[in-house]
Amino acid sequence: MSKYELQRTAKERSGVSYEDSLEAVKLQPSLYQRIGREEGFERLSQLFYDSVFADKEAAWFLSIFSSSTKTEAVENQYLFFVQTFGGPEIYKVKKGKYTRLVGRHANYNIGHEAADRWVKHMELAIEQHEQLKGDLEAREALQKYFRYTAQYIVVASEFMRPDQVSTIHKAFFHHPPRLRYRMVCCLIRDVIPY
């Protein structure tokens, strides 16, 4: 499946087009400036993970995040947000040059229900964030970005070819983590828009 077909499918699932999702990365002044720089994105991630870790209705959802502590999850997410939305490349410094989201999430069992729940928690965090309360344009741009991206990650992972999945399963766990990540990126690089 081509990246354009994946984008179309993600649009059907999210109600947001790829082009509309990019409004968040193109805003002027940038979301990085509007939200309060690193501290603002750290606050957004903290609000998000506070909501996720308090979600007692869906233990299955919280289990998706079990590979890291809440502190690690907050840090990884906010560093990514800073870099994505107009700030310095601090995520790249920590995680390496590849920031492709499908590859980063390939090892997690994420379906459409999980993507919808993730978006629900993120939209709650956006509504609670003090810096965003008076900035409707920023809130709407972030919501479009997150709705589209959450569904794109699921759609792209669903359409990985069987030979890609079997290659990952056979070879994946026999290599160090950094090499495993590179393997995933190479296998799915042609379907990722970011």
Number of residues written out for the chain: 194
pTM over 0.85: no
Q: Is the peptide bond before 88 cis (omega within 30 degrees of 0)?
A: no
- Cα dist. 76→54, 69, 92, 172 in Å? 19, 11, 10, 22
Q: Rounded to whole angstroms, how far apart are CA atoms 152 and 105?
A: 11
Instruction: Please write the tens of the pLDDT for every residue from 135-150.
Output: 999 999 999 999 998 8
CATH code that applies to domain 3-96+110-159: 1.10.490.10
Q: Rounded to whole angstroms, how far apart are CA atoms 158 and 118?
A: 18
Q: Rounded to whole angstroms, how far apart are CA atoms 122 and 46?
A: 10
Instruction: Please write the tens of the pLDDT for every residue from 52-109.
Output: 888 888 777 777 777 778 888 888 888 888 888 887 776 555 555 555 555 556 566 6
Q: Supply the DSSP symbol for 191.
A: G
CATH 1.10.490.10 domain residues, the chain: 3-96+110-159
